[in-house]
A and B are shown apart, each in its own frame.
Chain A
Amino acid sequence: MNTGLSLIFMLAPALVVILVLFAGGLALGFSQSLGYMPIIGAYGFNLDAYLQLIKSPGFVPSLLLTIFISVLATLLAVVLAVATALTLRKRFVGKKIVSFLYQFPLTVPHLVVAVGVLLLVSQSGLMARAAFQVGLISDPAQFPILVFDDLGIGVILVYVWKEVPFIGLIALAVLQSMGNDYEEQARTLGANSWQTFRHVLLPLIIPGILPGSIIIFAYVFSSFEVPFLLGKSYPAMLSVLSYRLYTDVDLDARPQAMAMSILIAVFVLILVLFYRRLSQRILRRSG
C-alpha cells in the first residue's frame, strides 16, 4: 500500500467528523438561510432573510457593539497577559502560589464566571451590599452600573478574567524558551528596559500570542452565554440576536436566524484576516 492512501485512512476518522458535522451543519444552515425549509413548506432560494436582517433596525447597533466588545476584550486580555507574563517569569517568593492563582481562571467555565460577576457587581450584588453597609450608598440604584450596561463592561470583564491566563501562559512559554540571552545582549548594547521590551522581547512574543489572540477574538465575537447573562436587552450582541431568532415561536423567523449565524461566521472570517494582516504589519515594523 502506498503512503498516500494510508495517510488518508489515518486521517479519515477526524476528517469525517469535521466534514459531516461542521461542513454538513454549515451547508444545512446556509440552505435554511436562503429560505429552503421543506418542513414548513418553504422551498425558496433567495436572499430575503439576509436583506430583512440587515435592514432590521437592531442589526447595525448589534454589529457595532459586538465588534467593540470583542476588540476591546481581546486587546485588554493581550496587554494584561504580556504584562503579567513578563512579571511571572522572574523569580520571587510565593511564585508557585501566584502561578497557581494565575492559571486558575482557565479551569472555570465562562457560564460560572458570568454568574459570579453578576452576584458580585450587580447593583444589588455583594460589592453593592458592602458599599451599603459602610454607608457609601443608600439605595441599590446608586451603585455604578457594571452589568447590563451600554458598553458591555460586565461582559468584557468576564472575558478578560478568563482569557488573560490563556494568552499569558503562551507568552510565558515563549519567554522561558528563549532564556535571557537576547535581553542581556540588548542591555549590553545599551538599550534601556523599554527599548529592550519594545524591540527585542515583543517581536519575539508576538508570533506566539497572535494565534491565541485570534482564537479569543473569534470566540468572543460569536459566543453566546456571557452576553446573554450580562448584556443589555438592546442592543444585544449578534449571538444573542441569533439565539432569539432561533427560538422565535414563529418558524418563519428561522431563515433569519440561520442568516445571522452565517453572517457571524463571515464577519469573524473577514475580521480575522484583517487582524492578521494588521498584526503582521506591526510585526514587520517592530522587527
Chain B
Amino acid sequence: MTRKSIIILVLAALVASGLWAGGKQEQSLPFEQRYQSMSWEQIVDEAGGQKLYWYMWGGSDLINKFVNGYVAERLKNEYDITLEMVPVTDAATFINKVLGEKQARRDSGGSVDMMWINGENFRTTRDADLLFGPYADKLPHMQYIDSTDSSISNDFGFPVEGYESPYGSAQVVMVYDSARVPEPPRKIEDLLDWIRANPGKFTYPAIPDFTGSVFVRHLFYHVAGGYEQLLGSFDQELFDRIAPKLWQLLNELEPYLWREGNTYPETHTLLQDLFANGEVYFDVTYNPSEAASLVSQGRYPESARTFVFDSGTIGNTHYVAISYNSSSKAAAMVLANLLLDPATQYEKSRPEVWGDLTVLSVGSLPRQWREKFGAVPRPPSVLSPDELSSHKIPELQAAWLDAIEKGWTENVLQK
C-alpha cells in the first residue's frame, strides 16, 4: 500500500463521516416528541412506507401464517407498511436485543420495532425503560376495550399505563385423547391420581417454558387451597409456607411422569409432539382452540378433546409493545390498532386461523360484529365461551411467578 492510497482512504473516511453527521442534523423532531399532538390520520400518514420488524414467539405455524398472511397483507394494502415478522422461542431474546442496544446507546433505528409481550417480560422492559409510550390511548380501536376490566389494564398485576396495547386473550385448557382417556380427571386431585395410576403418560414442559410455568401455577393454587389469598403483591412469608408443599407434591409425582421425571420436554412444542405421538396422554395449552387446529392439520387425533379444571384455569391477556428506539413507531401504532380491528379479531378467533380469544368487549361492538362473533363455528374439541369464562381464574403478580419458577428449578428439577 502506498502513502497516496492511505491518504485517499483517510480522506474518504472523513468525507463519509461528515456526510453521516450532516444527514443526522437534517432530521426533524423525533416521533416520540410529536405523536401526542398528532391526529390519528397524521400518524397513519407518517406510517406509510415504513418497514416494521415485529418480534414474536414463533412456535405456532398457525399464528405465523396469520401474521405473515392476513395481517401483513392488510398492512401493505391499506397502509403501505411492510411487515417483517421475526420469530423467536422466548420473549427474553428480543428484550436482550433492545437492552443491548440501550446499553450501546443506540437510541434510534433499533432492530426491534414491535414485540409481542406480557407478564414478567413487560415488567422487565418497563423497569429497564425499553418501551415507547404511553401510546394505547391514541389508538381508535381502543374504544372497544373494556377499560374497567382489571385483567386488561393490569398485566400480571402490573399496571399497563398505555405502554402496551392488548390484542388477544388466552386461557389454559387441558387436552386429552378421548379414545385413550374416556373420562378426563376434571379435578386437580383426580388428575394427580390418574398420573399415579398411569405411570409415564403425563408430563409438562420444563420451566421457564411459559406453558410449563402456568401448569405448575395451577398446582400452586391447589396446594394453597385456592388463589384468593395469593392475589396482591408478593408475600415471602406466605410463599415459604405454601411452596414446600408444592415441591413435595411434584417430587413425589416425578416417578410417575414421562421418563420418570428424569427429564422434561424443553418446550411446549415438544410436549405437543409427545402427545401427537401417543407418548403422553395429556397436553397443556394456553390456547383453548389449539387442539382443534392441530386436529384439522391432522397432527392430533380426531378424538382429541379439551377440558378445564372444576376449580378453574388461568387466563391472561397478551399485548404488543413498541420499543423505545424503533424508527417505525407510527407504523407500529397502526399495527397495534389494526390488531384491535373487529375484522382482525374475528379472523383471529376462527379456530382454523388461530382460535385466539378476542380481547374486545363484544357487547360494545356494532351489531353486525356482535352477531358474527356469536356465530364463530366451534369444533367438538373447543369449549364454549361460557364454559371458559365461568372457569377463568386470574394470574398472579410477576414476582410470584419468579419465585415459583426459581423454586421449581432448585427444588424439583435439580433434585
Residues of A within 8 A of B (CB): 1, 6, 9-10, 38-40, 57-58, 123-124, 140-141, 145, 148-150, 228-229, 232-234, 244, 246-251
Contact = CB atoms under 8 A, between A and B. Distances in A.
B229 interface: no
B413 A251 contact: no
B137 interface: no
B92 A10 contact: no
A148 B99 CA distance: 33
Contacts of A6: 1
A233 B413 contact: yes
A9 B264 CA distance: 54
B6 interface: yes
Is the contact region of chain B dominated by helix, strand, or loop, or is it mixed? Answer: helix
Given A145-B259, A247-B90, 16 more contacts: A1-B1, A1-B3, A39-B128, A124-B273, A124-B274, A124-B277, A148-B259, A148-B263, A232-B263, A233-B264, A247-B93, A249-B95, A249-B121, A249-B208, A249-B402, A251-B128
B39 interface: no
Interface of A, secondary structure class, is loop
B96 interface: yes
Contact of B266 (A149, A228, A250): A228
A124 B120 CA distance: 35
Identify which of A57, A58, A124, A229 gathers the most chain B CB atoms within 10 Å of its CB.
Answer: A124
B28 interface: no
B402 A250 contact: yes
Contacts of A228: 266
Given A124-B274, A248-B92, A57 B410 contact: yes
Interface of B: 1-3, 6, 90, 92-93, 95-96, 99, 102-103, 120-121, 123-124, 127-128, 200, 206, 208, 259, 262-264, 266, 273-274, 277-279, 398, 402, 409-410, 413-414
A141 B414 contact: no
Contacts of A149: 263
A249 B274 CA distance: 27
B206 A233 contact: yes
Contact of A246 (B2, B6, B96, B103): B96
Contacts of B200: 141
A251 B95 CA distance: 10
Contacts of B402: 249-250
A39 B1 contact: no
Given A57-B410, A233-B266, A233-B413, A140 B259 contact: no
Contacts of A123: 279
A40 B262 contact: no
B206 A140 contact: no
B278 A9 contact: no
Contacts of A1: 1-3
Contacts of A249: 92, 95, 120-121, 123-124, 208, 398, 402
Nearest to B276: A124
Contacts of B93: 247
Given A6-B1, A148-B259, A244 B208 contact: yes
Contact of B102 (A39, A58, A124): A39
22 contacts: A1-B3, A9-B6, A57-B410, A58-B409, A124-B274, A124-B277, A124-B278, A124-B279, A140-B279, A148-B259, A148-B263, A229-B266, A232-B262, A233-B263, A233-B264, A246-B92, A247-B93, A247-B208, A249-B120, A249-B124, A249-B402, A251-B124
A100 B3 CA distance: 49
Contacts of B273: 124
A39 B262 contact: no
Contact of A234 (B3, B128, B279, B413): B413
Contact of B1 (A10, A58, A148, A244): A10
Contacts of B90: 247
A149 to B, nearest CB: 8
Contacts of B92: 246-249
A32 to B, nearest CB: 9
A233 B208 CA distance: 11
Nearest to B277: A124
Contacts of B398: 249
Nearest to B104: A28
Nearest to B2: A1
A286 B6 CA distance: 53
B117 to A, nearest CB: 11
A137 B41 CA distance: 66
A39 to B, nearest CB: 5
Contacts of B121: 249
A248 B6 CA distance: 48
Contacts of B264: 233
A232 B120 CA distance: 26
A145 B398 CA distance: 37
B99 A39 contact: yes
Nearest to A147: B263
Contacts of B259: 145, 148
A116 to B, nearest CB: 14
Nearest to B413: A234
A234 B207 CA distance: 12
